[in-house]
Structure 1
Amino acid sequence: MYDGDEKFLRIKAVIERTGCPKASIYRMIKEGSFPKQERIGRRSVGWRASRIARWMEAPTSYQEV
Structure 2
Amino acid sequence: MARTTRTAHQQPEQVAAPTSTQPRRFIKQAAVRGHTTLSTSEIYRRIAAGTFPAPIKLGPKSVAWIESEVLAWCEARIAESRGEAA
Question: TM-score scaled to structure 2, two decimals?
Answer: 0.62
Unmatched tracts of structure 1, length 5 or more: none
In terms of fraction of residues, the more strand-rich structure is: 1
Q: 1:42 offset after TM fit, Å? A: 3.1
Counterpart for residue 56 of structure 2: 38
Rounded to whole Å, the distance in 1 between the matches of 2:28 and 2:53 is 13
Question: Given the alignment of the two structures, is residue 55 of structure 1 paired with residue 73 of structure 2, yes or no?
Answer: yes
Q: Letter of the 2:25 partner, please give it.
A: K
Of 48-57 and 33-42, deviating more is 33-42
Rounded to whole Å, the distance in 1 between the matches of 2:19 and 2:43 is 25
Structure-2 change in CA distance of 1:18 and 1:38 (3 Å): same
Q: 1:40 offset after TM fit, Å? A: 1.5
SS of match in other structure, 1:26: helix
Q: Percent identical across equivalent pairs?
A: 31
Counterpart for residue 9 of structure 1: 27
Q: Which has the higher contact order (CA 8 A, sep 6+)?
A: 1
SS of match in other structure, 2:63: strand
Question: TM-score scaled to structure 1, two decimals?
Answer: 0.80
